[in-house]
Chains A and B, each alone.
Chain A
Amino acid sequence: MPAKTFLNYYLKESKVERILFGDNQFFGVNHMSEEKARAQAMKFQDIKAIIDVLDAAYDEGIKVFMCTTHERIGEVCDHMRAHPERYKDFQFYPCMPYAHKYANAVTEMGILEALKSFLPEEGAFNAMFKGGMSLAQKDVEGLGQLLIDAEMKMFHDLQTPVIFLQNVVTDLLLGLDFKEAFRIFADHVKNKYNAEPGFITMNMPKLLDVLEELGIENPIVCSNINKIGFRMCGGVDAYENAIAKRHFRPVAMSVFASGAIAPKEALEYVCQQEKIESIVFGASSRGNIRQTKQLIDQMSSYA
């Protein structure tokens, strides 16, 4: 890492907010029940219903919305921009990309055409292929930057201090051993958006090894952390060990394992691990948001 980037990185490294509000409930994602997911998708098909819940979370003191770059988030962004006073402390932690958009497009169009369809303008993409040169010889970094920019477009003029790479992409790149892509992501997010890179993964201990090797210091890594080890590859012990001993900023998601663990028990498990910086959770009602936040606050204060 060049000295300037390194310094820059350290100067602005900040604590991740303790409580992050997630968005799975808004888009029909529920890892335990498709029926529940569908009911939620219906409930939140009107953007106002989403805003109401975000307002409730914000008024309860949760300032961060950790959200996928789903196209409907664009409408949320419009709302926030239209009411700057109301949301002056509101922050987005975008998680990119919304992978199903890509996966469905790849099935329909093939990899190259799918990439093309998500870039801002065809000219930029075509320019990369001119002269019959292959993508690799040209500019993978440039392509990566264009894809990141396309996903970030909806957040213009809003606060995005942390930008996450979604787990399906992180874990695809990690499995392939495509380490350079993590560096491309981290650099672009820092340089262009003045934000900190975050990585969502289902294979946390393994990802830490690679980020360490790349010299990405004290990374923000979001992974499932729950008592029953649901989608924690490497196992509960390896996770607990990594959290206790390794130098990174852990963000816990899926702490309730989609409802398989009772709230109090689930949050106790996470809050007891002092080095976990943040907890992301989703809820659909003010009552649930308040209750969960109170539990986290209580347990964090005497942890």
Chain B
Amino acid sequence: MIRVALIGLGKMGLSHHAIINPHPDVKLVAVCDSSGYVLDILNKYVGIKCHTDYKKMLAEEQLDAVFIATPSRFHGEMVRAALDMNLHVFCEKPFCLDLTDGQRLMELAESKGLVNQVGYHYRFVATFQEMKRLVDANAIGRIHHIRAEAYGPVVLKPKGSTWRTSRSEGGGCLYDYASHGIDLVNYIVGRPHSVGGTVLSKVFSRDVEDEVYSTFYYPDGKTGQIAANWSDESYRKMSTSVTIWGANGKITADRQEVHIYLRDGSNEKLNLSKGWNTRYTTELTGEVWYYLRGEEYSAQIDHFIQSIKSGCRDTRSTFRSALEADLVAAMMIQDAKNSHVDAAFPAGIGSAPAKKGKLWPSFARNLLD
């Protein structure tokens, strides 16, 4: 039995708790949270050993691994404490808001040979895995564009003040929603080398962005775009999709299905016909031992546990890959501060003040003249 503990009993923590607990290879030894009410209930009704001080828990309990599902600003110190005790670590996303800290933790985990995983659960959604498999098998030829979108109804009115509404704690649409899109892009086609045109706008929130848009650039000329908006009431829950265009067709995927369009002929090896092909989650998704709210949440935990058992250290969502997602998010925050091209009107046009904008392209001025 793998002996594990869980730190953080918010939405993700409770969800992990309910999935870890019935796992046949795992003994959930103890849980830890700083706030009393959920802990009191679990202690009284569930009978699990509860701690309020994670350091004490790590010191007192005999553990093999720890799950960390606290707000992101605590990840750094908690992951370090766990690694220092030679524990395998599963940490919620986003991994580490401080990139230098994140890098040190990644190096520490790798040098110690400990299993390290971050909760980017979309990597465990069967449709996105299928998409990656097809891209890796060159099903649609040279990729020239990828687009990841995530929409949902989280902040729908001007209020709310949890850690999710504070950027410095890892909240906001960028860390909560867009980070999944970023990670999927990194997973499927690799990390962009630069970003541009980033927009981080508020719709209802006071302190964080509610919508995120950005363009990604790759050394080979490929581009990507990301769009995320957690203030979209037309979705009943978070909805994520990815579309990839290649020289020989395109693939689009969401949680339920994968559509593949092939331009030139069929691909027998991949069992794809010319034109449209559809694959559904019902045929792609493997069985899990316990279902709570999507196979992927169970699958990622099982992947972590099996990695510990088998000695495999290269999980599907490592600290290293999560750090790359953090890095792209950081690039986007930096980019959003950059100035944009101004609409400095040429003299004599409209009522705009005559301002000779150096960024106004000369061909446009010629056209207007």
Contact = CB atoms under 8 A, between A and B. Distances in A.
Interface of A: 27-34, 41, 100, 103-104, 106-113, 134-137, 140, 168, 171-181, 202-203, 206, 228-231, 233, 235, 257-258, 260
Contacts of B165: 108
B355 interface: no
A124 to B, nearest CB: 16
A180 B283 CA distance: 37
B44 interface: yes
Q: How large is the interface on B (under 10, 10 to 19, 20 to 34, 35 or more residues)?
A: 35 or more
B360 interface: no
Interface string B5-43: 000001100110111011000000000000011101111
A135 B153 contact: no
A111 B254 CA distance: 29
Given A107-B164, A174-B18, A178-B45, A233 B239 contact: no
The CB with the most chain A CB atoms within 10 A, among B256, B257, B282, B283, is that of B282
A176 B42 contact: yes
A140 B18 contact: no
Given A136-B40, A178-B42, 9 more contacts: A32-B256, A32-B281, A100-B236, A106-B10, A111-B37, A136-B43, A136-B44, A181-B45, A233-B290
Contacts of B160: 108-109
7 contacts: A33-B256, A107-B154, A111-B10, A172-B292, A175-B290, A181-B45, A206-B22
A172 B41 contact: no
Given A168-B292, A235-B287, A136 B41 contact: yes
B276 interface: no
Contacts of B47: 177
Nearest to B152: A104
Interface of B: 10-11, 14-15, 17-19, 21-22, 36-38, 40-48, 152-155, 160, 162, 164-165, 176, 236-237, 239, 241, 254-257, 280-283, 287-293, 295
Contacts of A176: 14, 17-18, 21, 42, 46
Given A34-B256, A140-B41, A168-B293, A178 B162 contact: no
Contacts of B236: 27-29, 41, 100
Contacts of A29: 236
A136 B45 contact: yes
